[in-house]
Amino acid sequence: MAPVLIVTIVRHAETDENRLRIVQGQLDTKLSAAGRQQATMVATALAVPSVPFSHAFSSDLSRSVEV
């Protein structure tokens, strides 16, 4: 049987600029209150042993690691 590769993509959570439909690109904007809640929920979901992963790659923008 061939090995299985599972790729999980998680986008940063909501920013105030997202909600206002402002394109940010590489601007280093912060998460909104709703975005911090979303990030916490994703962190909880990925922390369970049933979601194993061996590598993680992240943007260098602060919102990609903010909680």
Model confidence over 54-64: pLDDT tens digits?
Answer: 888 888 888 88
pLDDT in tens, 37-56: 999 999 898 888 887 888 88
Domain assignment present for 37: yes
The C-alpha atoms of residue 25 and residue 3 are separated, in whole angstroms, by 36
Domain assignment present for 10: no
What's the total number of domains in the chain?
1
Mean pLDDT of the 23-39 span: 90
Domain assignment present for 65: no
Domain assignment present for 38: yes
pLDDT for residue 67 is more than 70: no
3-state helix, strand, coil in the chain (%, to 5): 30, 5, 65
The C-alpha atoms of residue 34 and residue 36 are separated, in whole angstroms, by 5
The C-alpha atoms of residue 39 and residue 64 are separated, in whole angstroms, by 9
Domain assignment present for 43: yes
Its domain, for residue 44, covers 15-20+30-48
Percent of the chain residues topping a pLDDT of 90: 25
Domain assignment present for 53: no
